[in-house]
């Protein structure tokens, strides 16, 4: 009997310790006893409201508990920021596609701005680029259905579909009085992330990173070796209109140019678990030739992390215009067996302690170009090498123009190489 009592007491003490630990954890996460008690009270009110509406509202379909719960979730989360959202089963299933390098769609990278999907950049050679979509275009309708009020994931899903199928979109473009109506045939988008590798002037290499996917670090390594074999002494990395992608990929790219163990980026949130550091990993094997990086307002997220790391470390000079300013961390938190929450939980900081979010990364050398110049350069970059100049001018109705940002970077690196 004494042994049984002792066993019960030990079990009760263990349970008390577990419950106490959980209680202290809840207190810590919610910012103290006051917030904890208020959240418990408010949660109880929300539960009662759901029960009353479900039981007594005249419209039984509208007051079904699942519908009410999803509406409450989406309404609550929509007040936070443009990147947090409730994820039902379909949204969770589609989320992984955002970071894959192969999918069916029109080939544009987008962000949510002013309640609409907005083009950050069309990917080179894709149906979106061929249809004439430009950075800043707002996609307001898909197949006749307005996107206003839809979440980011749901809006993007409407643009995707089986390769070969047609999608009709309505676009609002700045300084255009009427909506643009476009019909685009979806394609299987197989995305290479590193483009345009060449030696521009003697010893000055150039490459463009269009986004950061799973293969970007490997692609970059191969392209750099290709340029080195052709006598490259300095490199221009073009991150203009790069909307970002995978953080690990940006870290892998930065690690090819920074000493082993050098800080690349850090995050800070409300809790220690959301605060992390990412360091260069290369075991002492990294490139030390001079670097210049091209940036503009279309450079976002992972591209800002790379640019900030190379700038703050003194490893590269940034040329162009200030970046977009998307530097927040979204964590996927499970709610049920097939639902979740994509929640902004931290912000990114450059090695110098500069917060990227809503501020962007400033260039070392400011070279501004107009939106029209930028639109012409995008067309020129993808089309001019594929046709005679006369045919290009006749089709696109402008003479080839100077890329002032690129030329400034070339001049900068030539001066550095000449002094070395």
Domain extent listing, the chain: 102-190, 194-265+280-326+361-419
Strand 138-142 versus strand 85-87 pairing type: unpaired
Within this chain, domains 102-190 and 194-265+280-326+361-419 share the same CATH topology: no
* Contacts (Cβ under 8 Å, ≥6 apart) of 159: 105, 106, 108, 117, 139, 142, 167, 169
Whose tokens are 């259905």? That residue is 145
What is the pLDDT at residue 17? 47
pLDDT digits 0-9 by tens, 268-292: 988 888 889 999 999 889 999 999 9
DSSP-derived 3-state class of residue 47: helix
Is residue 58 predicted with pLDDT exceeding 70? yes
- Segment 47-69 shows an average pLDDT of 84
411 carries an active-site annotation: no
Is residue 22 predicted with pLDDT exceeding 50? no
The Cα–Cα gap between 181 and 172 comes to 9
> How many CB atoms sit inside 10 A of residue 157's CB?
18
The Cα–Cα gap between 353 and 50 comes to 44
Q: Which of 89-98, 111-120, 202-211, 384-393 has the lowest mean pLDDT?
A: 89-98
pLDDT digits 0-9 by tens, 216-273: 999 999 999 999 999 999 999 999 999 898 899 999 999 999 999 999 999 998 888 8
326 carries an active-site annotation: yes
Q: Please, which pLDDT band fits residue 150 given cuts at 50, 70 and 90?
A: confident
Tell me the sheet residues that pair with 87: 340
Whose tokens are 């419950």? That residue is 19
311 carries an active-site annotation: no
Q: Which CATH superfamily is domain 102-190 in?
A: PDZ domain (2.30.42.10)
Annotated active-site residue in 311, 317, 322, 326? 326
Is residue 202 predicted with pLDDT exceeding 70? yes
- pLDDT exceeding 70 applies to what percent of the chain? 88
CATH topology classification for 194-265+280-326+361-419: 2-enoyl-CoA Hydratase; Chain A, domain 1 (3.90.226)
Whose tokens are 């069309």? That residue is 122
- Segment 120-129 shows an average pLDDT of 83
What is the pLDDT at residue 15? 45
Nearest CA-CA partner of 107 in 87, 89, 128: 128
- Segment 46-54 shows an average pLDDT of 86
pTM over 0.75: no
Annotated active-site residue in 301, 303, 313, 328? 301
> How many CB atoms sit inside 10 A of residue 149's CB?
11
Annotated active-site residue in 88, 137, 238, 312? 312
């Amino acid at each position: 009997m004494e042994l049984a009592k002792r066993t019960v007491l030990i079990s009760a003490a263990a349970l008390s310790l577990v419950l106490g630990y959980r209680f202290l954890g809840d207190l810590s996460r919610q910012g103290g006893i006051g917030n904890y008690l208020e959240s418990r009270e408010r949660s109880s009110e929300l539960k009662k409201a759901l029960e009353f509406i479900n039981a007594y509202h005249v419209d039984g379909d509208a007051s079904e508990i699942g519908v009410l719960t999803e509406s409450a979730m989406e309404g609550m989360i929509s007040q936070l920021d443009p990147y947090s959202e409730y994820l039902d089963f379909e949204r969770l299933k589609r989320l992984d596609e955002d970071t894959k390098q192969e999918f069916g769609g029109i080939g544009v990278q987008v962000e949510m701005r002013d309640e609409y999907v907005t083009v950050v950049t069309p990917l080179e050679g894709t149906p979106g680029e061929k249809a004439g979509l430009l950075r800043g275009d707002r996609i307001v309708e898909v197949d006749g259905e307005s996107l206003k009020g839809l979440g980011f994931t749901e809006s993007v899903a409407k643009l995707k579909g089986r390769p070969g199928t047609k999608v009709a979109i309505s676009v609002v473009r700045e300084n255009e009085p009427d909506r643009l109506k476009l019909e685009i045939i979806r394609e299987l988008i197989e995305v290479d992330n590193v483009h345009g590798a060449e030696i521009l002037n003697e010893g000055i290499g150039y490459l463009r990173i269009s986004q950061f996917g799973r293969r970007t670090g490997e692609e970059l390594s191969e392209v750099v070796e290709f340029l080195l074999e052709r006598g490259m002494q300095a490199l221009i990395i073009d991150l203009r209109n790069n909307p970002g992608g995978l953080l690990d990929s940006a870290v892998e790219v930065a690690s090819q140019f920074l000493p082993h163990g050098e800080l690349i980026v850090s995050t800070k949130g409300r809790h220690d678990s959301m605060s992390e550091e990412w360091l260069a990993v290369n075991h002492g094997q990294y490139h030390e030739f001079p670097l210049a990086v091209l940036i503009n307002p279309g450079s976002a997220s992972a591209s800002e992390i790379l640019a900030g790391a190379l700038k703050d470390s003194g490893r590269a000079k940034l040329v162009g215009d200030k970046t977009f300013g998307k530097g927040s961390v979204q964590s996927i938190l499970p709610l049920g067996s097939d639902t979740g929450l994509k929640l902004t939980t931290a912000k990114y900081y450059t090695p110098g302690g500069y917060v990227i979010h809503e501020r962007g990364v400033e260039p070392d050398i400011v070279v501004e170009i107009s939106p029209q110049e930028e639109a012409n350069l995008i067309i020129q970059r993808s089309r001019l090498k594929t046709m005679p100049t006369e045919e290009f001018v006749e089709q696109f109705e402008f003479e080839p123009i100077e890329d002032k940002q690129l030329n400034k970077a070339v001049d900068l690196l030539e001066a550095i190489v000449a002094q070395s």
